[in-house]
Amino acid sequence: MTTTETTDHAGSPQPPFGIATLEAGPTCTGIMPSGIFCIGALAAPDGQFLYLSLLGRDTAFQELRGKMTTGQLHAFIVQQDGKTVASGWFSREVLGKMEYHGAKVQTHLFGEVAQMILYHPLLTTPDKATQTAALPYLGQATAQTLRDTWQLVRHICEVPLLDEWQAVVMPLLVDLQWLQPLQGFGCNASYLKLGSNIGGLVSANIRSGALRVEPDEAGRLCIPERMTLDLEYGLSKRHPQQATPPPGNSGGGLWDDVDVISVYTRQQAIADGVLVDVSASSEARDAGFKVPVALTEAVYQRFVAWDNNEVRPEQQALGQSTAGRLWDVLYMASLAIRRSSNQRGDSTLLYELYVIERDGFSTTPRSIKLKLHSGSGDHAEHVITILLPEED
């Protein structure tokens, strides 16, 4: 028999629930106490149990908790009618943080038995530091489940999200597997683990027109057909290389009769706006740079350029300016150079700083990483370029 029926204190029958056996995982060294059954189990994508609801005798539960505490039992397999319906593991660290609930349950099949419930704190308290949460539910997901999941996304996300953006942001989270449905035994859940570049994703979709901070002519703040997963949407410029005649060489040599593709020079990149030269700025001088330094257009547009006439009132009172933001980028780059323990002469290093992104809605700084490259310019002079980590 795989189901039983509980009775509340008033004697009214409650809906039946599934009964399954609980077995020790193959890596466990301890023996599973007899007489323990599972009525609910749910595991995260990494296999860690988020929820485990058991029925059994008090003495069996005492033995089970003892073996879990000592590490003899740390993984379990839930089987029903000879099939595995759930499996997972506990770490001893997490076990100490899990909530425990015990109660007496009256059943027609077993009489009075104890119920033991272990559940991860994530089920009741979202972790905003890691942008992780889980929303449990019974049966199939409903429209209300989706609404509740969206509110949970807004709660843990490090950047503000307008309620009207749901139709764009939720599909993006699913595509990136930052939002996953979990199917357990007796319960299910929506599992959220947002990536650290969620701010960049939102900004890219504002640039693409999928998300709007002001309604368009049709009154829309969300336009799904314009959504993008390209974090640099609208920032990159393409410059096709042009073939040029080979350089003259009257003496005859290795490169005679060879078509040479012209090099896209640093000066051309600056002229085209692909690089922004800040060498002559007082901020570069005050930060200690004595060689030419330039920022890629993506870095400059996202983390330096600022015009209060182009941002919402919420951002106008933040005291931001182009000069101040440029100082932050250059000073932290200079500090990273001085602090670098790299003695191998590598030409690239990553550094961190906190900035408010020019996206129309952010009001608090967030941590970002930039890449500093030290190399040669067009005439073999020493130059420095500051890029996004994924840029070359």
- Asked whether residue 381 carries a pLDDT value surpassing 90, the answer given is no
Alpha-carbon torsion (192, 198, 201, 206), positive or negative: positive
- Asked whether residue 184 carries a pLDDT value surpassing 90, the answer given is yes
Grouping H, G, I as helix, E, B as strand and the rest as coil, residue 303 is helix
Mean of pLDDT values over 107-130 = 79
The reported pTM is: 0.58
Considering only residues 25 and 260, tell me which one the structure prediction assigns the higher pLDDT. Answer: 25
- Asked whether residue 32 carries a pLDDT value surpassing 90, the answer given is yes
Q: At what angle do helices 166-175 and 198-208 cross, to 10 degrees?
A: 130
- Asked whether residue 232 carries a pLDDT value surpassing 90, the answer given is no
Mean of pLDDT values over 34-41 = 92
pLDDT at position 258, please?
Answer: 52
Comparing 95-99, 172-176, 370-374, which segment has the lowest mean pLDDT?
Answer: 95-99
Q: Which band of pLDDT confidence, cut at 50, 70 and 90, is reported for residue 154?
A: very high
Q: Give me the chain's average pLDDT, please.
A: 81
pLDDT at position 110, please?
Answer: 54
Q: Which band of pLDDT confidence, cut at 50, 70 and 90, is reported for residue 257?
A: low
Q: What is the DSSP letter of 232?
A: T
pLDDT at position 259, please?
Answer: 55
Q: Which of 388, 370, 362 is nearest to 157 (CA)?
A: 362
- Asked whether residue 42 carries a pLDDT value surpassing 50, the answer given is yes
End-to-end, the C-alpha distance of the chain in Å comes to 63
Distances (CA, A) of 64 to 28, 68, 158: 12, 6, 40
Q: What is the DSSP string of 311-376?
A: S-HHHHTT---HHHHHHHHHHHHHHHHHH----S--SEEEEEEEE--SSSS--S-EEEEEEEEEEE
